[in-house]
Amino acid sequence: MKLVIANKNHSSWSLRPWLLLTEFGIPFEEVLIPFGQTFDDPAWKRAITAFSPAGKVPALVDGDIKVWESLAIMEHVADTRPDLPIWPQDPTARAMARSISAEMHAGFQALRAACPMNLAWVHEARDRGPKVAADVARISAIWREARERFGSSGPFLFGAFSAADAMFAPVTARFTGYRIAPDSVCAAYCEAVQATKGFQSWRMGAFAEPWIIAEDEADEPVLTDFRSSLRRSRVSS
Ligand X SMILES: N[C@@H](CCC(=O)N[C@@H](CS)C(=O)NCC(=O)O)C(=O)O
CB nearer ligand X, residue 22 or residue 70: 70
User: Which residues of the chain form contacts with ligand X (CB under 6 A)?
Assistant: 6, 11-14, 39-40, 55-58, 69-71, 105
CB nearer ligand X, residue 33 or residue 180: 33
Output the smallest distance, CB 178 to ligand X, in A.
17
Alpha-carbon torsion 182, 200, 142, 127, what sign? positive
Output the smallest distance, CB 22 to ligand X, in A.
17
CA distance 16 to 23: 11
Using CB positions, name the residue nearest to ligand X.
56
CB nearer ligand X, residue 106 or residue 235: 106
Output the smallest distance, CB 176 to ligand X, in A.
18
CA distance 13 to 20: 12
CA distance 133 to 26: 36
Output the smallest distance, CB 153 to ligand X, in A.
28
CB nearer ligand X, residue 121 or residue 150: 121
Output the smallest distance, CB 169 to ligand X, in A.
13
CA distance 101 to 97: 6
CA distance 121 to 110: 19
- Cβ atoms within 10 Å of 145's Cβ, excluding its own: 14
Say whether 11 sits in a helix, a strand or coil: coil
| Residue closest to 118 by CA, chosen among 187, 35, 58, 184 | 35
Output the smallest distance, CB 53 to ligand X, in A.
12
CA distance 26 to 82: 12
CB nearer ligand X, residue 61 or residue 150: 61
CB nearer ligand X, residue 4 or residue 150: 4
Phi and psi at residue 15, in whole multiples of 5°?
A: -60, -35
Looking at the DSSP bridge assignments, the partners of residue 222 are: 123
